[in-house]
Structure 1
Amino acid sequence: MSIGPSDQFAASKAPRPAGAVAVDLVHAPVAALCRNQAGRVTLAYNPAHSAAAQPALLASAAPPGLPIAGDTESLALLTLAERIAKSAIPVLLEGPTGTGKEVMARFVHTLSDRCSGPFVAVNCAAMPEAMLEGLLFGHRKGAFTGAGEAREGLFRAADGGSLLLDEIGELPLALQAKLLRTLQEGEVLPLGATKPVKVDVRIIAATNRTLVDEVARGRFREDLLYRLNVFPLTIPALRDRRGDIAPLAFGMLLRHACKPGGPTWISGQAMALLEAHPWAGNVRELENVIRRAILLAGKEPRIGSEHIVFDQAARGVEKPVHAWPMPDISGAPSSLSDVAFKSEAQAILNALQTHGGHRGKTARSLGISERTLRYRLASMRESGLIVAGGEA
């Protein structure tokens, strides 16, 4: 039996995103989910326990890179997103970190009339403020020191398609004003240019902050919020959509394993553990757990409960937000840059501890901006010096 795009999520009446997916259903005494080298998926299941195979079916029928859902609220959200995708209005995606906002953005783009155009994503918090304007709007040759050649910018790169502005709450106020003009006039003014350039771009913005609160604190323009907030989509935390956990877990198994000699199924006991977990890190944490379980299972045919190891950071989910981990960074560094980095990390951690994890007070005490502090903390996480962070 083969399942194409017209059949995916049929059991739950979910939207039908584009992208052919072929799934062979095979009656077998042992359940397994495999993908061959050609990308074709085989789902073997016991007919007497077909209900247990439904999450695996949902996962295997979803086109790569698009949402996997089984929870009724998530399916309703996808149906709404499908309707919004057909319009030309900006989209604002709200929700905690790690809930899949970029996946939802791609879903909206794929189902829109712009699907044949480019999809460009930029994380507004990951780029230094001095580079962000040129990255977004482009620049002329010689517009600033080091501008040896002209760059078109991401708005023009996304012309005819969609531009995802992830973590838009981190966008500096000056750039918010320039973004507002782009939304209103449909044109960008590159750095060093005297004439604006017309662009046809749909903006999809994403944030893990409450932008209404950011407006009240003077950190986000109210007029820009009104321009973006035509029809917001809020993606709940994973703990609030339990019906998604099993399909997502099978989807990650299919993505990272499902090859001969490795696990091709998740046992009922292991799935029960996954469904009972609070998932402080949302979908991103679930992916970590599944990848870890694949490694621990080795050549065993299925992931068992003994292979499920949750993130250490999640175990402290009920602790106060100021409980910052203090790693041992006193080991002998290999270079002078390591000395500087580890000394800076120690100073940041000490300041966070002093100010109870409050980022605003910590940044002021260190003489840096909150944006710079967030950038430093991200670098520390990537280097393994910290595993979790507090909120201001």
Structure 2
Amino acid sequence: MANPAKTGGLHWIDADEGDVPHRRDDRVVIAAQADTPALTRMGPAKVHLTYNLDDLASASAALLASSAAAGMPIAGDNETLALLALAEQVAASTIPVLVEGPTGTGKEVLARYLHNTSPRCSGPFIAVNCAAMPEAMLEALLFGHRKGAFTGASEAHEGFFRAADGGTLLLDEIGEMPIALQSKLLRALQEGEVVPLGATKPVPVDVRIIACTNRELPHEVEQGRFREDLYYRLNVFPLTLRALRERPGDIAPLAFGMLLRHSEADRGPRWIASDALAQLKRHPWPGNVRELENVMRRAILLAGDAPSIEAEHIRFDRPARMVEHAETLIADDKSLSDIAFRSEANAILRTLDECGGKRGATARKLGISERTLRYRLADMRDAGLAVAGAAS
């Protein structure tokens, strides 16, 4: 590796030159050649990297991982790097951004990158999962409410829009938002103001909107589940994150980043062996970056006090498969409702199996929303059906 370099907030110095003063938001990587490679955290913003000249590819991946600030994207794939460069350009504006991509690809990380590289970086970043909030409370949580606006509203609440004033509001899983609420969201975006429940006057808000989805919103528009005008309002600048298997150059840097994040400070593996990296690169990653994190956390645990993670420490997630069918689990159904439930459960289990356990694809194939599918799966689990492991 070459002489010391500094790029942006990163200082890279050779170990024999000693430490250098740095700001709290800088990331310092102290690099040195050694027979035994290792990547060690020396503090919240300082990493010690020893590398072997016989394996510069791994050293490069480790350097990419160690130079990324906490919570920022880690990338080595050319297309991902191009996407991040484009995102940095978009961040300078205030236009809405729609981040698309399969579940587990890092859409929220990209959204935070947009915020952190924007003029609004000193303002709040509020992330809201539209699928996780109770549908009946979603309007009040987004737009706020006055005291006494509804039963149980013992105190006023400003809502997520006003909480994000001057910053960025991330609307995650926007495709799950009830269509009745979509018109109110559209008005808030168009007018730059919200009307809290129980209020009569609008409140102006200055919010940059980033929406994320793992669904194909044009298809949702065609099916009448998503407003066309809201789609075009959000889709001012789309950014698409591909599945991890389609960006193999990201796998090794991400793996080293997870090694840094999850390894203990005073023990455990400090490197990923080349045979283990090769095994990671061959895997199809149906669960994307989220699955990679699971694999790396397991590998760190299995490696124990070994100096590096070896191929034998890699344990991949098993793809979700339905091992039992409803007719074997629901016995003696005598009522019409039992028969209907069994028939519906069979259809869901069969479609989940055909879609590799992926909820999004299953819901689309069945012609229902993912929210409805989650409710059905919960009912089936309560009835004792083997539905665990269905992926998003």
- Cα separation, 2, equivalents of 1:363 and 1:209: 13
Alignment equivalent of 1:251, drawn from 243, 257, 260:
257
- Cα separation, 2, equivalents of 1:385 and 1:265: 37
User: For 1:289, what is the secondary structure of its paired residue?
Assistant: helix
Post-superposition Cα deviations, 1:71-96, rounded to whole Å, max 9, x if no partner, equal 00000000000000001100000000
Alignment equivalent of 2:202, drawn from 190, 196, 210:
196
**What's the TM-score once normalised by structure 1's chain length?**
0.83
Alignment equivalent of 2:388, drawn from 374, 386, 389:
386
Contact 2:325–2:349, Cα closer than 8 Å, also in 1: no
- Cα separation, 1, equivalents of 2:325 and 2:296: 26
Contact 1:3–1:24, Cα closer than 8 Å, also in 2: no
- Quote the offset at 1:28 in angstroms: 1.3
- Cα separation, 2, equivalents of 1:40 and 1:7: 12
Contact 1:141–1:148, Cα closer than 8 Å, also in 2: yes
Contact 1:35–1:258, Cα closer than 8 Å, also in 2: no
Structure 1 stretches lacking a partner, 5+ long: 11-17, 317-322, 331-344
Do structure 1's residue 278 and structure 2's residue 276 form an aligned pair?
no
- Cα separation, 2, equivalents of 1:348 and 1:9: 59
User: For 2:157, what is the secondary structure of its paired residue?
Assistant: coil
Segment of structure 1 superposing worse, 28-37 or 159-168: 28-37
- Cα separation, 1, equivalents of 2:269 and 2:376: 38
- Amino acid aligned to 1:119: F
User: For 2:32, what is the secondary structure of its paired residue?
Assistant: strand
Contact 1:324–1:353, Cα closer than 8 Å, also in 2: yes
- Quote the offset at 1:356 in angstroms: 6.5
- Cα separation, 1, equivalents of 2:235 and 2:172: 15
Contact 1:5–1:20, Cα closer than 8 Å, also in 2: no
Alignment equivalent of 1:352, drawn from 345, 348, 352:
348
- Quote the offset at 1:104 in angstroms: 0.1
Given the superposition, is the C-alpha separation of residues 37 and 189 from structure 1 closer, same or farther in structure 2, using an over 3 Å criterion? Answer: same
User: For 2:98, what is the secondary structure of its paired residue?
Assistant: strand
Given the superposition, is the C-alpha separation of residues 34 and 385 from structure 1 closer, same or farther in structure 2, using an over 3 Å criterion? Answer: farther
Alignment equivalent of 2:26, drawn from 20, 29, 44:
20
- Cα separation, 2, equivalents of 1:299 and 1:21: 27
- Amino acid aligned to 2:115: H
Do structure 1's residue 311 and structure 2's residue 294 form an aligned pair?
no
Partner of 2:115: 109
- Quote the offset at 1:175 in angstroms: 1.1
- Amino acid aligned to 1:210: E
- Percent identity of equivalent pairs: 62
Aligned-pair Cα RMSD in Å:
3.0
- Cα separation, 1, equivalents of 2:107 and 2:391: 20
Contact 2:40–2:260, Cα closer than 8 Å, also in 1: yes
Contact 1:4–1:23, Cα closer than 8 Å, also in 2: no
Alignment equivalent of 1:6, drawn from 5, 8, 19:
8
Contact 2:10–2:28, Cα closer than 8 Å, also in 1: no
Contact 1:4–1:21, Cα closer than 8 Å, also in 2: no
Determine which structure has the larger strand proportion and give its number: 2
Contact 2:75–2:249, Cα closer than 8 Å, also in 1: yes
- Amino acid aligned to 1:387: G
Do structure 1's residue 60 and structure 2's residue 62 form an aligned pair?
no
Contact 1:4–1:61, Cα closer than 8 Å, also in 2: no
Partner of 1:334: none
1:213-232 matches, cutoff 5 A = 213-232=219-238
- Cα separation, 1, equivalents of 2:156 and 2:25: 36
- Quote the offset at 1:7 in angstroms: 6.8
User: For 1:232, what is the secondary structure of its paired residue?
Assistant: strand
Contact 2:58–2:252, Cα closer than 8 Å, also in 1: no
Do structure 1's residue 172 and structure 2's residue 172 form an aligned pair?
no
Segment of structure 1 superposing worse, 104-113 or 36-45: 36-45
Given the superposition, is the C-alpha separation of residues 86 and 9 from structure 1 closer, same or farther in structure 2, using an over 3 Å criterion? Answer: farther
Given the superposition, is the C-alpha separation of residues 310 and 85 from structure 1 closer, same or farther in structure 2, using an over 3 Å criterion? Answer: same
Partner of 1:269: 275
- Quote the offset at 1:110 in angstroms: 0.3
User: For 1:25, what is the secondary structure of its paired residue?
Assistant: strand
**What's the TM-score once normalised by structure 2's chain length?**
0.83
- Quote the offset at 1:374 in angstroms: 2.0
Structure 2 stretches lacking a partner, 5+ long: 13-23, 329-340, 354-361
Aligned residues: 356
Partner of 2:322: 324
Partner of 1:338: none
Post-superposition Cα deviations, 1:179-228, rounded to whole Å, max 9, x if no partner, equal 10011000001111111100000000000011111100001111011111
Contact 2:41–2:47, Cα closer than 8 Å, also in 1: yes
Given the superposition, is the C-alpha separation of residues 277 and 92 from structure 1 closer, same or farther in structure 2, using an over 3 Å criterion? Answer: same
- Cα separation, 1, equivalents of 2:44 and 2:169: 31
Contact 2:10–2:26, Cα closer than 8 Å, also in 1: no
